[in-house]
């Protein structure tokens, strides 16, 4: 049994906490009330108490050393969260980052010592919070763990065993490729669903066909320049498959915009825009969506 710290009690943080607490000692770092019980719900099944302890940053010094620390926060929150918990890391803590979009991994790696293994976890599990204390598990999906430094690569099998309660978990030897593939899905769904205030499935309407095609064409041009083996036809198929599987869901970016929260657009379309400028590749549609979503979001 490992001591695990999950940073963030959003939908994914609560889903991971629910599954991992079945075999591990799990603490969840939150900015909300710690006394309230959190619940996991799925379809018409009875709700279950999430068997984790919820703590604030002020309570971190009272906790045991954590073997595994999972950053289940938005891309723009990772660095701040890492800075806050870094003083409490043990010399051998294992770190896992999980968010939409690209970025952060290189910066975090530079701040770790040689005994810290760093992984990235990407998941297509779907969930949303009906309130601060209830998470609805709305869709099954695969979770892929990938090593982000050599130490993590050496111990990936043991790490997968530690996380085996996460549904449909497997290891990916090329996590950067997989992250970019998921980035393409996010580009096709998140900003458009937020901008047009629609569910994921509504993006399959003919009106969006050319927009999605051109958005992903720009992103695939960036991928090719980065020496990634990504085909446009595969990117389109993946995006439309996810739209179908999550047809009745609102994307995370839609929820952020609807609730006047900061979004991950900088790590999604913003990443393509930034890389495009660096590589001298024109990305006008990604640039435009970046600006439009930035205009909608508030600053936290």
Place of tokens 């609807």: 258
Provide the residue-wise pLDDT of the chain in tens; the chain has 300 residues.
889 999 998 899 999 999 999 999 999 999 888 888 899 999 888 889 999 999 989 888 888 889 999 999 988 889 999 999 988 888 889 999 998 888 778 888 888 888 999 999 988 888 888 888 899 898 788 899 999 988 999 989 999 999 999 999 999 998 888 889 989 999 999 999 999 999 999 999 999 999 999 999 999 999 999 999 999 999 999 999 989 988 888 888 998 899 898 899 999 999 999 999 999 999 999 999 999 999 985 443
62 within 8 A of 90, measured Cβ to Cβ: no
Per the CB < 8 A criterion, the answer to whether 152 and 119 are in contact is: yes
CB-facing half-sphere around the CA of 160: CA atoms within 13 A: 16
- Class of CATH domain 177-293: mainly alpha
CATH number of 3-173: 3.40.50.720
Rg (C-alpha) for the chain, rounded Å, is 19
Domain ranges of the chain: 3-173, 177-293
- Report the predicted TM-score, pTM, of the whole model to 2 decimal places: 0.84
| 297 classed as catalytic | no
CB 228 within 8 A of CB 174: no
Q: Do domains 3-173 and 177-293 have the same CATH topology?
A: no
Under a CB-based contact definition with an 8 Å cutoff, are residues 98 and 77 in contact? no
Could you tell me how far CA 285 lies from the centroid of its own chain?
Answer: 23
Of the listed 129, 142, 182, 297, which one is catalytic?
182
* Burial of 256 from C-beta contacts in 10 A (0-12 / 13-18 / 19+): buried
């Amino acid at each position: 049994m490992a001591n695990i710290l999950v940073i963030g009690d959003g939908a994914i943080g609560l889903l991971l906490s629910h599954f991992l607490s079945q075999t591990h000692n799990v603490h969840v770092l939150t900015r909300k009330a710690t006394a309230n019980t959190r619940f996991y719900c799925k379809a018409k099944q009875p709700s279950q108490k999430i068997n984790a302890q919820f703590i604030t940053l002020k309570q971190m010094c009272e906790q045991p050393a954590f073997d595994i620390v999972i950053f289940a926060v938005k891309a723009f929150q990772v660095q701040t969260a890492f800075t806050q918990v870094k003083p409490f890391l043990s010399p051998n803590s294992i770190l896992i980052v999980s968010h939409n979009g690209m970025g952060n991994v290189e910066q975090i790696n530079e701040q770790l010592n040689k005994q810290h293994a760093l992984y990235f976890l990407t998941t297509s599990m779907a969930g949303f919070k009906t309130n601060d204390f209830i998470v609805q598990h709305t869709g099954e999906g695969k979770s892929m763990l990938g090593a982000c430094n050599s130490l993590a690569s050496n111990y990936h099998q043991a790490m997968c065993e530690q996380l085996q309660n996460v549904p449909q978990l497997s290891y990916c030897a090329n996590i950067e490729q997989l992250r970019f593939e998921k980035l393409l899905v996010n580009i096709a769904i998140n900003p458009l669903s937020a901008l047009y205030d629609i569910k994921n499935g509504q993006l399959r309407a003919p009106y969006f066909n050319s927009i999605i095609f051109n958005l992903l064409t720009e992103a695939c041009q960036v991928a090719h320049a980065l020496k990634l083996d990504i085909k446009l036809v595969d990117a389109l198929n993946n995006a439309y498959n996810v739209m179908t599987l999550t047809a009745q869901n609102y994307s995370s970016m839609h929820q952020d915009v609807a609730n006047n929260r900061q979004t991950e657009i900088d790590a999604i379309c913003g990443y393509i825009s930034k890389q495009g400028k660096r590589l001298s590749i024109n990305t006008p549609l990604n640039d435009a969506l970046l600006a439009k979503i930035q205009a909608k979001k508030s600053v936290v």
